[in-house]
Structure 1
Amino acid sequence: MNFKYLIFLLIGCTSFSQNNFPSSEVASIVERIKLPVIPSYQISVAKLGAKGDSITDNKKFFEKAMALCKKNKGGTIIVPRGIYKINGPIHFVSNVNLRIEKGAKIKFSDNPKDYLPMVLTSWEGTMLYNYSPLIYAADCDNIAITGEGIIDGEGGKTWKTFKAKEAKGKELSREMNHTSAPIENRKFGEGYFLRPQMIQFLNCKNILVENVRIENSPFWCLHLLKSQSITIRGISYKSLNHNNDGIDPEYAKDVLIENVDFDNGDDNVAIKAGRDHEGRASTTPSENIVIRNCNFKGLHGVVIGSEMSAGVQNVFVENCKTAGYLKRGIYLKTNADRGGFIKNVFVRNITLDQVEDCLYITANYHGEGKGYQSEISNIHFSNISCNKASESGIVIQGFADKKIRNISLNNVEIKEAKNAISNENAENVLMTDVFIGKRASVPTAVSKN
């Protein structure tokens, strides 16, 4: 192990101490999250003529079901057993539950033209108009996706080819962000190759996604954008395409994520809050997010950033474990382009197997940017175990003129690590019962000759 950067900063202990996990605050958040209230009206897409034969385009039948729900002030759309091809998006109205029953699969087309006209959405932290997400709800209250069926985004063919061609659109979107271009002028879609999200809720309230399985997304799987009072529970994943983040709360408030089995091609949970100038101009941080009892598998377990310019605060992660290799377990990342803040993050009872880095906090992600350093403070880890870190056990990286502050680690054990701790430009770092590598025993006695 390399102890070059092993530094224990115990200064300031009179003003900063190890904080206990605030269970009462978690309970308060969970209590105020409201589940959607759905009227009693029900309609089966099969009764409207939909065929679960994996061939027929059923878009018009799903649209008719949604229209009938709207006419009846809401209701439940039932998708019975079968494979239902849909050549285009599902657009929600308020007070609707899309119930995908066991043995049922919704399989979306992968023809980009099917997802036009464009809708207001976001792409990597910048608001713009783009292809519609495959399931899209904007300005809706009381909406749900439930059942034990599968949502298949067919993202591994045509959409997968977009990754190599996205640079022009990505760069233009960031330029428009930095120059505060009017959102109505930010038109992408055809010719720009920015992939749509699988499921996106924009400006929605009282959301439930429960028990469904998400497969083969074109881009981010479940994007919670400018929405609040959200419950995600019991869902599972098999989505391994480029940038297949599992759940992305962005400008989101009061979110419960529990009992989720992740297996996706990027971050499991990635908490975001807009990007650069646009994010810093917002007064809507992502906040009050509870993540518990989840199984992590993918690139990273829980990530905050890197698009977090409006700030992220009050995040609580507990009782989670890995079901396979992760590159990083808990990862807080920002850089000098972002600004904003990450604060009041509590992580406890996490069991990791093999990772590249166990706990990683950096204010210099990719070494990019200048002029807008982020504030990172009040981050607390307790009861963390990890079998092996092939690179670093614990990494904390601030700036000399903008230090990371108030980090506590209590009862952390990493059984094997190439590098134990890299701790630079941080103040008030308190470590209690932290073990990396083999635990020391009592000192050996001087041998007698």
Structure 2
Amino acid sequence: MRNCVKKLVLSLHLFSVIILSAQHLDAKATILKRINEPEFQNRVFSVIDYGAIADGITNAKPAFDQAIQECKQAGGGKVEVPKGNYFLEGPLHLESHLNLELQEGAVLKFSSNPESYPLVLTSWEGTILYNYSPFIYAYQKENIAITGKGIIDGESSDTFATWHPLQKEDQLRSREMNHNSIPFEERQFGKGHYLRPQLIQFFDCKTILIEDVSIEDSPFWCVHLLKCENAILRGVKYDAQNKNNDGIDLEYSRDILIENIRFNNNDDNVAIKAGRDHEGRAMQMPSENIVVRNCAFKGLHALVIGSEMSSGVRNVFVENCTYAGYVKRGVYLKSNPDRGGEISDIFIKNVEFGEVLDCFMITSNYHNEGFGFPSTINNINLSNVKCEKANNYGIYLKGYNKKPIRNINLNRFKVKETGRNPFVDFAEEVMFKTVKLNGETIKWNAEKLKQNPPDEYDY
């Protein structure tokens, strides 16, 4: 009788998974229909016509700024950057209805002088504050693009990137401001502080396109969409090897398409976030309706959700992706009991990895810290996910003792070689269907899979 009940429960769970998956395929199609590319007036403003000298030495920023303003005053168009090396003594602040086109052979190289970057409203690791301007920045703009086969070079490996060991005091100060709800205008960093700026940031912008450019040597995160809506990131290539050189960070953003990206960056490839702790929960602005497809992963982690996700992350679709090299973790969902919020309705399909440390990992206790606000992690679905080798775990799923993770579904999940048996703890409604590790089919058995990992696991 007990076995019959178990079989009935499993059948009902499987049926609900099938129905839910079908519903979310419809949701993905609806999302894609909403996402539109920006359109621009047929006007061209060449930076050469405004005095830019492409010798890599002369400051071209005044010419770029003038071309941007002329484009704005004319009602929009293309700011054209012909082949050549352009040195910029400070950031570019983009305007609405503008396409910054970097033609093939064009290289932007940015100044290493912090005093050339004014303070702007931005965010840092999930906390809104004033800091050095991102090198390319747009605030409350719409219908905006960066396109072309040129290169955006942050020139930061010997300058801003060296601030990483100096940032701890400011990092902790920013978090205290978050926890104490200090007004934004009082959160002033910049000179005398060591929070590195992002390379490209769109803040509170709509209808965005970043296409085909190459990104190198970023000071911090490479591309950061903060409170943005309706964006396409397509065909971008990376060679960004500094600390915290995340490829794409989505924060409080919705209706996003990421496709045909070739990653090679020294941190997360795609990181989906939604604010930190008190501020994130108060914002009530989840990152949602995100499609990632046809990408090649290489770097630290391929797809990450969290750890700053206090407003929630939902409706994420990742499909038809492969690898360009090693990543530490393939699919990585992370939170802790400081965050709150929810990660739900995540669908990952037809994805391959080569060698990794861990293939699929969820932790509700990131860095083994925090209390009072455990996160909800629910309805996570992986289908036809393959990995050649996981040096550590093929599957590591650890919820929080007061709030288990729920409804975790693996269907056709295969890791040819793993260093450890799978580990699952504080998890409910887990389904394994055709799960193979080291050539062995793994059946769902809560007690068998609950083994003792190291007390201090390297998250």
Shorter chain as normaliser: what TM range? over 0.9
Give the match for residue 393 of structure 1.
394
CA-CA distance at 1:411 after TM superposition: 0.3
Query: Letter of the aligned partner of 2:335 in structure 1?
Result: T
Give the match for residue 431 of structure 2.
430
CA-CA distance at 1:24 after TM superposition: 2.6
SS at match of 1:281: helix
Give the match for residue 100 of structure 1.
102
| Matched pairs, number | 431
CA-CA distance at 1:28 after TM superposition: 1.3
Give the match for residue 331 of structure 1.
332
Alignment of 1:211-250 (within 5 A): 211-250=212-251
CA-CA distance at 1:356 after TM superposition: 0.3
Alignment of 1:374-413 (within 5 A): 374-413=375-414
Larger relative contact order, structure 1 or 2 (CA cutoff 8 Å, min sep 6) = 1
Query: Letter of the aligned partner of 1:286 in structure 2?
Result: S
Give the match for residue 446 of structure 2.
none
CA-CA distance at 1:15 after TM superposition: 4.6
CA-CA distance at 1:71 after TM superposition: 0.7
SS at match of 1:415: strand
> 1:145 and 2:146 equivalent?
yes
> 8 Å contact 1:289–1:315 — kept in the other structure?
yes
Percent sequence identity over aligned pairs: 52
SS at match of 1:429: strand
CA-CA distance at 1:23 after TM superposition: 3.0
Give the match for residue 443 of structure 1.
none
Alignment of 1:163-178 (within 5 A): 163-178=164-179
Separation (CA, whole Å) in 2 of partners of 1:27 and 1:82: 41
Separation (CA, whole Å) in 2 of partners of 1:146 and 1:338: 36
> 8 Å contact 1:11–1:428 — kept in the other structure?
no
Give the match for residue 13 of structure 2.
16
TM-aligned CA distance change 1:289 to 1:10, over 3 Å: farther
Query: Letter of the aligned partner of 2:94 in structure 1?
Result: F
Structure 2 unaligned spans of 5+: 1-5, 442-459
Separation (CA, whole Å) in 2 of partners of 1:326 and 1:40: 42
RMSD: 1.2
TM-aligned CA distance change 1:167 to 1:10, over 3 Å: farther
* Aligned equivalent of 1:31, options 16, 30, 33: 33
Give the match for residue 279 of structure 1.
280
> 8 Å contact 1:159–1:195 — kept in the other structure?
yes
Residue by residue, what CA displacement relative to the aligned partner does 1:114-140 show, whole Å, maximum 9, x if unpaired?
112x00000000000000000000000
> 1:207 and 2:200 equivalent?
no
> 8 Å contact 1:10–1:428 — kept in the other structure?
no
Give the match for residue 445 of structure 1.
none
Query: Letter of the aligned partner of 1:157 in structure 2?
Result: D
Separation (CA, whole Å) in 1 of partners of 2:29 and 2:150: 30
> 1:344 and 2:351 equivalent?
no
* Aligned equivalent of 1:78, options 66, 77, 80: 80
Give the match for residue 59 of structure 2.
57
Separation (CA, whole Å) in 2 of partners of 1:41 and 1:222: 27
Residue by residue, what CA displacement relative to the aligned partner does 1:9-58 show, whole Å, maximum 9, x if unpaired?
98843553244464332221111012112112211001111011110100
> 8 Å contact 1:268–1:301 — kept in the other structure?
yes
Give the match for residue 109 of structure 1.
111
Query: Letter of the aligned partner of 2:187 in structure 1?
Result: R
Structure 1 unaligned spans of 5+: 1-8, 441-449
Residue by residue, what CA displacement relative to the aligned partner does 1:50-81 show, whole Å, maximum 9, x if unpaired?
01111010010010001101110111000000
Separation (CA, whole Å) in 2 of partners of 1:197 and 1:437: 41
SS at match of 1:64: helix
Residue by residue, what CA displacement relative to the aligned partner does 1:167-221 show, whole Å, maximum 9, x if unpaired?
1111110000000000010000011100000000000000000000011100000
Separation (CA, whole Å) in 2 of partners of 1:252 and 1:339: 18
Separation (CA, whole Å) in 2 of partners of 1:15 and 1:239: 47
CA-CA distance at 1:334 after TM superposition: 0.3
Structure with greater proportional helix content: 2
> 1:89 and 2:91 equivalent?
yes
Separation (CA, whole Å) in 2 of partners of 1:279 and 1:12: 37
Separation (CA, whole Å) in 2 of partners of 1:11 and 1:190: 64
